[in-house]
Structure 1
Amino acid sequence: MKIRDKIDKVLGNILAFIMAVMVINVLWQVFTRFIMGSPSSFTDELARYLMIWVGVLGAAYVSGKKMHVAIDLIPRKLNKKNQIKLKLFVNILIILFCLTALVVGGIRLVYITYVLEQYSPALQIPLALVYLVIPISGIIIIYYKVSDIINKQLL
C-alpha cells in the first residue's frame, strides 16, 4: 500500500497545485478585464485546460479514495458474499472501460493531435499535452481498481 499512498499524495498535490494556478489565473483575468480595462488573451484558454486536467485527474483521485458517486441500491439488498462479487464485477467493468476508452482512446487522441500538429489558439501549446491527461488518468484508475481487487478491498 506504500505505492498507493505515494500516488495518492502526489496526485493530491498535483491537483492542489493546478487549482492554485487556476485561481491565480482567474484572478489575473478579472484584474486585467475590470481594473486594467484590457482582458488578458490567454487566461480564458488556460483556465479551460486547467479545468479539464482537474476534472479528469480528480476523477482518478476520487476513484482511488472510493469517494466517487455510486448508486448502492442493489448492493445494500445483497448479502456480504454477493456484495463482494458485484463489486468485483463492477471493478472489472471499470478496468475494461478505462483500458479501452481512456487509455487506448486517449493515446490515439494524443497521437492524432500530435501528428496533426494541432496547437491551442492563444497559448500555442500542443493540444496533445492537454489531452495527455486522459490516458494518464485511465492508467491511474486501472492501478487503483487492480489494487483493490488484489488487496481484497472491495467493500
Structure 2
Amino acid sequence: MKNALKIIDASLYLALALLMTAIVLDVSWQVITRFVMTKPSSFTEELAGFLLIWIGILGAAYAFRLKAHLGLDLVTAKLTGRRAQVIEIIGWAVCFLFSAAVMVYGGLRLVLLTLELNQVSAALGVKMGYVYCAVPLSGLLICLYSLVFIAEAFGHRQSQPT
C-alpha cells in the first residue's frame, strides 16, 4: 500500500509540475502574441483559465496530502493524548465525508451533466465536462488521503499507552 501511495503522490506532483509549466508557457505565449506580434492569440486566455482550474483543485488535494491546509490542526494542536487523537480522527472523517459527497458525487454529476448536454468551450471547443473532471478526481484523492490519515491516527493511537 505504501508503494502505491508513493506512486500516487509522485504522479500528482508530476501532474502539477506539468500543469504549472503549461500555464507559464501559455501565458508567456499570450504576452508575446499581444505585445510583440500585436495580434493576440485567440485560445491562450481560455486555456490559462482551464489550467488554473486544474492547478487549483489538484493543488488542494496535494496540499491536503502535505497537511498544509490552514486550520486542519487548529483544535488538535491545543489538545494532547487520547482527546487529540479522537478529534483528529473525527476531523479526517469529516473531510472524507465532505469530499465524497460534494467533490466526488457532486463533481461526477456535474461532469456527466455537462457531457450529456455537450457543453463546449468557446475558443478551444473542449467539452466542459473534461475541464470539470478535476473536481471528482481531486475529491477521490482527498478521500484516499483522509483514509490514510485515519489509519495512521488509529495506528498511532494503538501504539500509545492509554
Structure 1: where are the runs of 5+ without partners?
none
CA positional deviation for 1:150: 1.8
In structure 2, the partner of 1:121 is 122
Q: How far apart are the structure 2 equivalents of 1:109 and 1:121?
A: 19
Q: How far apart are the structure 1 equivalents of 2:73 and 2:86?
A: 14
In structure 1, the partner of 2:23 is 22
In structure 2, the partner of 1:135 is 136
Identity %: 39
Q: How far apart are the structure 2 equivalents of 1:76 and 1:26?
A: 41
In structure 2, the partner of 1:94 is 95
CA-to-aligned-CA distance 1:83-128 (integer Å, 9 cap, x gap): 1111100111001100110000000000110000000000000000
Q: How far apart are the structure 2 equivalents of 1:107 and 1:154?
A: 34
The SS at the match of 1:151 is helix
**How many residues get paired?**
155
Query: Once superposed, what is the RMSD of the aligned Cα atoms?
Result: 1.5
CA positional deviation for 1:154: 7.4
Q: How far apart are the structure 1 equivalents of 2:26 and 2:74?
A: 42
CA positional deviation for 1:57: 0.3
| Larger displacement relative to structure 2 (113-122 or 63-72) | 63-72
1:13 maps to 2:18:
no
Alignment map for 1:1-150 (pairs within 5 Å):
1-70=2-71, 72-150=73-151
Q: How far apart are the structure 1 equivalents of 2:15 and 2:71?
A: 25
Q: 1:65 to 1:154 in 2, by over 3 A?
A: farther
Q: 1:127 to 1:154 in 2, by over 3 A?
A: farther
Give TM-score scaled by structure 1 length: 0.95
| Larger displacement relative to structure 2 (1-10 or 99-108) | 1-10
